[in-house]
């Protein structure tokens, strides 16, 4: 374990942390900066302008612990307890998936399908930290949003995020996928469900090793949760309601086939910024 012993300047801390992390992290320099900012309270600009400023003894101790945890693979977002998504500073914990940039496509497509009226009723299934529900609710303040998750620990994080961000138009319900929705119908249902195959080798690599299995793995072919959502969503959609699902880059045609089998219309897949088929949407049958 590398001990960060005072006296230590911001610059020296940053250089040493980056060096310690480089064998195990592809983003060592960025990781080091995020951790030094976290323990010192310095902004990026302050680190640049005032690099010789000394870290306090407490900050050195905290950095020693965090760099060691990062060296062992823990995700940066769990170490600092937050991740930005759709310009929202979201708290995250090991009970929640860490929001991914590609999931912003799901939000983008949902917003494209929502009007600005007070009529919109949106459900986000498997909300985790609340990322998708909160981004939609922030952008459509007149809409009412319901967010579900089977994990109480995740819902607690999502509720706290809503409160901290002052987003009042989201209701959080515990339960599996569509079950907590009862007899309610929505103009739009969105979900970023678990869709990784149980035998996907990536599960043994990097940050995902520390994320909740239930938020990642969708059974043998990755489609278990998606099948359940597609099988039941039409009972919770209004006549011209939309279903939007995030999926793996190689699952789009399977998802389109499942939707077509149920009689969904206007089925269309969209690519994320990396050019991968990532979100499929469809109009209620």
Residues within the interface to ligand GLN (CB under 6 A): 100, 192, 194-196, 208, 216
Proportion of the chain in helix, strand, coil states, percent, rounded to 5: 45, 20, 35
Nearer to ligand GLN, 134 or 196 (CB): 196
Determine which helix (DSSP H) or strand (DSSP E) holds 189, and give its type and residue range.
strand 186-191
Name the pairing type of β-strands 82-85 and 88-91: antiparallel
Nearer to ligand GLN, 11 or 227 (CB): 227
* Shortest distance, position 56 Cβ to ligand GLN, whole Å: 36
* Shortest distance, position 42 Cβ to ligand GLN, whole Å: 31
* Shortest distance, position 53 Cβ to ligand GLN, whole Å: 37
Nearer to ligand GLN, 26 or 166 (CB): 26
Q: Specify which residues 146 forms β-bridges with.
A: 123, 171
Tell me which residue of 272, 264, 275 sits closest to 105, measured CA to CA.
272
Tokens of 101: 């940039």
Nearer to ligand GLN, 47 or 216 (CB): 216
* Shortest distance, position 195 Cβ to ligand GLN, whole Å: 4
Nearer to ligand GLN, 116 or 153 (CB): 153
Euclidean distance between CA atoms 180 and 169, whole angstroms: 17
Tell me which residue of 262, 261, 258 sits closest to 280, measured CA to CA.
258
CB-CB contact of 96 with 117 (8 Å): no
* Shortest distance, position 194 Cβ to ligand GLN, whole Å: 4
């Amino acid at each position: 374990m590398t001990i960060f012993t005072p006296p230590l300047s911001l610059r020296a801390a940053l250089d040493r942390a980056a060096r310690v992390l480089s064998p195990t992290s592809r983003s060592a320099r960025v990781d080091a900066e995020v951790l030094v900012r976290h323990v010192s309270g310095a902004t990026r600009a302050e680190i640049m302008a005032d690099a010789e400023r000394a870290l306090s003894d407490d900050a050195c101790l905290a950095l020693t612990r965090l760099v060691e945890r990062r060296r062992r693979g823990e995700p940066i977002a769990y170490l600092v307890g937050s991740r930005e998504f759709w310009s929202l500073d979201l708290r995250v914990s090991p009970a929640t998936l860490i929001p991914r940039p590609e999931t912003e496509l799901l939000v983008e497509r949902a917003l494209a399908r929502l009007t600005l009226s007070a009529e919109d009723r949106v459900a986000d299934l498997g909300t985790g930290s609340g990322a998708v529900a909160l981004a939609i609710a922030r952008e459509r303040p007149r809409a009412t949003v319901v967010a579900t998750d089977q994990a109480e620990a995740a819902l607690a994080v999502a509720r706290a995020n809503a409160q901290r961000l002052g987003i009042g138009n989201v209701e959080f319900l515990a339960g599996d996928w569509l079950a907590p929705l009862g007899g309610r119908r929505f103009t739009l249902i969105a979900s970023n469900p678990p869709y990784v195959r149980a035998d996907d080798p990536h599960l043994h690599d990097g940050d995902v090793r520390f994320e909740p299995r239930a938020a990642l793995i969708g059974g043998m072919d990755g489609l278990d949760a998606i099948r359940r959502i597609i099988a039941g969503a039409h009972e919770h959609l209004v006549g011209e309601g939309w279903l939007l699902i995030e999926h793996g880059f190689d699952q789009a045609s399977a998802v389109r086939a499942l939707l077509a089998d149920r009689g969904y219309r206007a089925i269309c897949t969209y690519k994320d910024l990396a050019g991968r088929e990532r979100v499929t949407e469809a109009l209620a049958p």
